[in-house]
Structure 1
Amino acid sequence: MTSSWTAAGRGASTSPGGVRIPFPATDEVSRHCVSDDEPETVHIEVHLPGRLDPARLRTAFRRALLMHPRVLMREVPGRRRRQSFVWELTGEPDSDPVRFARPGPDALGRARARALTECPSLALSPPMRLDVIEVGGVKAAGELPEAGLPGATRTVLLLTMHHTALDAGSGLRVLATTAEQYGGSAALPVPGPVRPAPSGPAATGGTGRVVCTRPVRIAPDYRPEPVRARAAGNGMLLAELPVPPRVGGTGGLAPWTVNDQLLVAATLMVGRWNVSQGRPAGPVRITMPVDDRPRGREMPMGNGTRLVEVPMTSEDPRDSDLLLGERPDLAAVTRLLRATARRTRALKSAHGAPLGPGTSLLTTPLLPVGLRGTLTRGARRAAAPWTSTVLVTNIGRLPYALDFGDAGRAKAVWFSAPARMPRGLSVAAASTGGRLHVTLRWSRALLGDASGAYLTGLFEQALSATSQVTRPGSNAGGSGPEADVPEADVPEADVTTPDATTANAEAPGARRKARRPGGPHDRDAPCPDPTPSGDRSARQNLARPS
């Protein structure tokens, strides 16, 4: 999730087939650490209210690929003694990446499972695949409720990419171009990200990396150690939540953004989970991707974000207990939000090496790639105790209409990032149609499905707590640049999905402590649903590999 396009050069996006580009540093690090047990996939899921014409979609997707030729790449095979990995731009797809899934009630579940377990090949261009799943009539197993006429055929587009080559921003841009080609609508200007001016030190180095404090790890669940050791791959859960209401401030500027609220919610989630597992809360550090690329058709493809690390500590050490009590203290939440906003503003406005100077040193082509790979994997193991607690990726309000003409506009868009150990957990969010679409993805070597669902419930509760301080009568206020303005909050109907594992959090203020799934005498028991009956505000579904 880093700047491959800057190293490859902007001109590479318009290069003809046959051009070869050495792997940028971040692509090489990802390539060295590829593992069959934890596939390095990025998944993007788009829900449409109508049906797509197969031939027309194939043509539109192919045209989109040709309009973004930097996506049409494959790894050039070579020996371990070569000096670098190399991408070859092919100019044409090696095969048809579009696949229409066999209809059935479990079609969407199968596609999601495949997105978590099977990486697209780096040896074929492009390193992505597009699964098209049609759902009609009664809600299918694994389908989230969609607005539309009963019995109407609906479509889910599921794009899976190899993260060594591409990131979520690149995949969304390809899907946006596909929608333009399919629907025949002219592309509207897409504004690029607006970064705030520096407002003070971020309490980190120039790259945003913090190495002086060892962060807390997500506590593993109570499955027996041999069971966790044999577990492979990722689990995933999708949730639809209200967008936190806009924060009032001075001069029309908000003191914090939705992104800051997501970071604080993830911090509270980790703290409550660890306490429920009998572990200390500890200092949380979050890795946050920052994408400075333009959003139009000229957007450079590849891995185009830089990673910064945000220390999630309150300026008042007494706030730790106040934040993790039965009812998070709103004043303490407000102080953490303000501190987080100051740090993220400074980190977004600063510039530095995408993965730090150490990575640049490891990938310098002074040694053969085989030896560099050994050193990179060794450095990764040595740095494991200082790896951040969780990865939080927020695209914000989706900048594209994703209008597929007679098939309709996207009603919901989810995406997820890999959740490899030792971090083992990633949270991804995007806003579409006034709703916040959140994906939690975890390593099965860390958490089971029931624990992942419970953790998602804690995240919903924590995000709701950050929204409490923004309501009239609260003591929120202040000023600061507003990097991402949330969409209007839209009330949601009380809907649950058949055949879905629902895990909603208790309402803020409910007198119930978070506890671990099952007790000491029932370690295999499912996680309790932390939401009281009748207070379901999210629609969620667990993706289980078949």
Structure 2
Amino acid sequence: MTSSRTAAEWGTATHPGGVRLPFPIIDEVSRHCLSDDEPETVHVEVHLPGRLEPARLRTAFRRALLTHPRVLMREVPGRRHRQSFAWELTGEPDSDPVSFVRPGPDALGRARARALTQCPSLALSPPMRLEVIEVDGGAAAGEPPEAGVPGATRTVLLLTMHHTALDAGSGLRVLATTAELYGGSAALPVPGPVRPAPSGPAPAATDGTGRAVRARPVRVAPDSRPEPVRARAAGNGMLQAELPVPPRVGRTGGLAPWTVNDQLLVAASLMVGRWNVSQGRPAGPVRITMPVDDRPRGREMPMGNGTRLVEVAMTSEDPRDTDLLLGERPDLAAVARLLDTTARRTRALKSAQGAPLGSGASLLTARLLPVGIRGALTRGARRAAAPWTSTALVTNIGRVPYSLDFGDAGRAIAVWFSAPARMPRGLSVAAASTDGRLHVTLRWSRALLGDAAGTHLAGLFEQSLSTTSQVTRAGSNAWGFGPEADIPGADATAPDPEAPGARGKACRPGRPYDRDALRPDPTPGGARSARENRERPS
């Protein structure tokens, strides 16, 4: 059920003399490489324990958009021979981006499917839509059954954005402002990320002689479907899981040996390595693309695609560790060595400065040629560089820094998000922590993996993350409550019950994880999790 308001009521803005901004490098590269087969969407999913008032939410969301005017943009139309793409700031939404979905048992699953298959238009401001889904009875989809209250009505806010224009951090900031305006609570100061200085030079990947090498990274092996079947598959698949937050190792001299973000990277590399071995592929170097976001988190946060992408080599300094890592029971000492090496690499990469996509992208987007020619060159370079593209994308927001308090509808009890998983990479892992739980989303290209393979990968990721947790617990008895060390003052103590996101109760790191949550949605383009999966066998 969509809004019946007209565009005029929402203030359709033509603004021929409005503010225009040239596309940043990331936006232009994304715009050149758009494909109908793999929509460039980002989705943010917030679960609330209560119900929202439609008119009040629409008003709060509209005011949040006006608070962040950079979100109110659309692409300026033009010809292929123009010199640059440009955004036009409209000052008002072109239409009502909020819709309330008709309740039903498959309402949330269908909304997730739309988030993967239907991209918001770049020709309309803002390039996002917010769907509100009410979940009746028991636990909301994606939550453990003990979290539900029979007969209660819960709400899911599902925000879908075009990734050419906005990223997950921007969408989460808009939702945080919406919560502040809806709930009437004063915004608390939100600390920005703090990057510790690297403890030494980043270790390089080496061969058996100790010489640094730049080996071609391995690809995620395709599943066992026939090649013609994979070639006809379109879009992304997605699976969401709730896991215990991994423990954090104790600090020495104010610096932890590795963060939970490092554990996620290692778990993802072990997942890919073990999957490839199971598919009969030889082991090889895994490289993971990791977004780094240095923006402030308050209302002054710049909107758009504000991260820079870095590549982390997930290889041990000792090549003999490869066999120890990829066995049925990975050697904990080898995992510890990989964690230590990864931590030193990520500290160096986070503290370094550089172009968002590297010098090559800066050259391809230089305004020396018309956008049509630049687009052809960019797509050609992307195809040529496909064998050297990183193995997977791992995005970690960490502990969600906002309370997301919607007043009488309650505070967020779960936050999931996902990033595109386009070929040739074909796999992305996204993680966020809320209320002491880790919410992980695996998203994959259907041209690479089917639902059964996605479920298998998710199981391997859970096992691999459990392995890194064993290593961490062996070195520290302190349990952590948020998955990233980029938040000032974060330590291994329990959060203040009155702090944003604490929900007035202790976190639950030890709650068992339900393997039945790892079952895919048979609906093309959809995703299914927790409670829904228990009711529908794979």
TM bucket, shorter chain: 0.7 to 0.9
Change in Cα spacing, 1:123 to 1:16, as seen in structure 2 (3 Å) is: closer
Aligned positions of 1:394-433 closer than 5 A: 394-433=396-435
Give the CA deviation at 1:158.
Answer: 0.3
**Runs of 4+ residues over 6 Å off in structure 1:** 140-144, 473-476
Which residue in the other structure is 1:160 paired with? 160
Give the CA deviation at 1:213.
Answer: 1.7
Change in Cα spacing, 1:402 to 1:159, as seen in structure 2 (3 Å) is: same
Secondary structure, in 3 states, of the residue corresponding to 1:152? strand
Deviation by residue 1:219-246 (Cα, 9 ceiling, x = unmatched):
0000011110000000000010001112
Deviation by residue 1:442-491 (Cα, 9 ceiling, x = unmatched):
00000001100110000000000001012246899xxxx95455776522
- Provide the C-alpha distance between the structure 2 equivalents of 1:321 and 1:233, rounded to a whole number of angstroms: 34
Which residue in the other structure is 1:527 paired with? none
Which residue in the other structure is 1:386 paired with? 388
**Residues 131, 158 of structure 2: 8 Å contact kept:** yes
Identical residues among aligned pairs (%): 84
Give the CA deviation at 1:254.
Answer: 1.6
> Which residue of 355, 360, 364 corresponds with 2:357?
355
Q: Which moved more, 1:78-87 or 1:488-497?
A: 488-497
Counterpart amino acid of residue 134 in structure 1: E
> Which residue of 225, 229, 232 corresponds with 2:231?
229
Aligned positions of 1:17-416 closer than 5 A: 18-137=18-137, 145=145, 147-203=147-203, 212-416=214-418
> Which residue of 498, 501, 511 corresponds with 1:492?
511
Counterpart amino acid of residue 385 in structure 1: P
In the superposition, the TM-score normalised over structure 1's length comes to 0.85
Deviation by residue 1:50-93 (Cα, 9 ceiling, x = unmatched):
00000000000000000000000000100001000010000000
**Residues 17, 90 of structure 1: 8 Å contact kept:** no
Give the CA deviation at 1:198.
Answer: 2.8
**Residues 238, 540 of structure 1: 8 Å contact kept:** no
**Residues 142, 242 of structure 2: 8 Å contact kept:** no
- Provide the C-alpha distance between the structure 1 equivalents of 2:55 and 2:250, rounded to a whole number of angstroms: 49
Which residue in the other structure is 1:535 paired with? none
**Residues 143, 242 of structure 2: 8 Å contact kept:** no
Secondary structure, in 3 states, of the residue corresponding to 1:414? strand
Deviation by residue 1:192-215 (Cα, 9 ceiling, x = unmatched):
00001132223579xxxx992200
Change in Cα spacing, 1:494 to 1:79, as seen in structure 2 (3 Å) is: closer
**Residues 413, 432 of structure 1: 8 Å contact kept:** yes
**Residues 32, 373 of structure 1: 8 Å contact kept:** yes
Counterpart amino acid of residue 182 in structure 2: Y
- Provide the C-alpha distance between the structure 1 equivalents of 2:138 and 2:406, rounded to a whole number of angstroms: 23
- Provide the C-alpha distance between the structure 2 equivalents of 1:223 and 1:132, rounded to a whole number of angstroms: 36
- Provide the C-alpha distance between the structure 1 equivalents of 2:16 and 2:300, rounded to a whole number of angstroms: 16
> Which residue of 434, 450, 453 corresponds with 2:452?
450
- Provide the C-alpha distance between the structure 1 equivalents of 2:145 and 2:239, rounded to a whole number of angstroms: 15
- Provide the C-alpha distance between the structure 2 equivalents of 1:111 and 1:482, rounded to a whole number of angstroms: 33
- Provide the C-alpha distance between the structure 2 equivalents of 1:495 and 1:452, rounded to a whole number of angstroms: 17
Deviation by residue 1:371-402 (Cα, 9 ceiling, x = unmatched):
10000000000000000000000000000000
Counterpart amino acid of residue 234 in structure 2: A
Counterpart amino acid of residue 217 in structure 2: P
Give the CA deviation at 1:495.
Answer: 5.4
Counterpart amino acid of residue 511 in structure 2: E
- Provide the C-alpha distance between the structure 2 equivalents of 1:279 and 1:449, rounded to a whole number of angstroms: 20
Counterpart amino acid of residue 219 in structure 2: R
Give the CA deviation at 1:326.
Answer: 1.4
Deviation by residue 1:408-437 (Cα, 9 ceiling, x = unmatched):
000000000000000000000001000000
**Residues 41, 115 of structure 1: 8 Å contact kept:** yes
**Residues 274, 281 of structure 1: 8 Å contact kept:** yes
- Provide the C-alpha distance between the structure 2 equivalents of 1:217 and 1:472, rounded to a whole number of angstroms: 32
Change in Cα spacing, 1:317 to 1:475, as seen in structure 2 (3 Å) is: farther
Deviation by residue 1:245-295 (Cα, 9 ceiling, x = unmatched):
121242353210000000000010000000000001200000000000000
Change in Cα spacing, 1:164 to 1:293, as seen in structure 2 (3 Å) is: same
Change in Cα spacing, 1:140 to 1:264, as seen in structure 2 (3 Å) is: closer
- Provide the C-alpha distance between the structure 2 equivalents of 1:283 and 1:34, rounded to a whole number of angstroms: 29
Aligned positions of 1:434-449 closer than 5 A: 434-449=436-451
**Residues 138, 148 of structure 2: 8 Å contact kept:** no
- Provide the C-alpha distance between the structure 2 equivalents of 1:295 and 1:235, rounded to a whole number of angstroms: 30
Change in Cα spacing, 1:39 to 1:320, as seen in structure 2 (3 Å) is: same
- Provide the C-alpha distance between the structure 2 equivalents of 1:468 and 1:371, rounded to a whole number of angstroms: 52
Counterpart amino acid of residue 150 in structure 1: P
- Provide the C-alpha distance between the structure 2 equivalents of 1:437 and 1:248, rounded to a whole number of angstroms: 23
Q: CA RMSD in A?
A: 2.5
Structure 2: give runs of 5+ residues left out of the alignment. 1-14, 206-211, 479-483, 495-506, 521-528
- Provide the C-alpha distance between the structure 2 equivalents of 1:413 and 1:335, rounded to a whole number of angstroms: 32
- Provide the C-alpha distance between the structure 1 equivalents of 2:138 and 2:264, rounded to a whole number of angstroms: 34
Give the CA deviation at 1:145.
Answer: 4.3
Change in Cα spacing, 1:387 to 1:472, as seen in structure 2 (3 Å) is: closer
Aligned length: 486
- Provide the C-alpha distance between the structure 1 equivalents of 2:201 and 2:254, rounded to a whole number of angstroms: 24
- Provide the C-alpha distance between the structure 2 equivalents of 1:146 and 1:377, rounded to a whole number of angstroms: 49
**Residues 396, 430 of structure 2: 8 Å contact kept:** yes
Secondary structure, in 3 states, of the residue corresponding to 2:60? helix
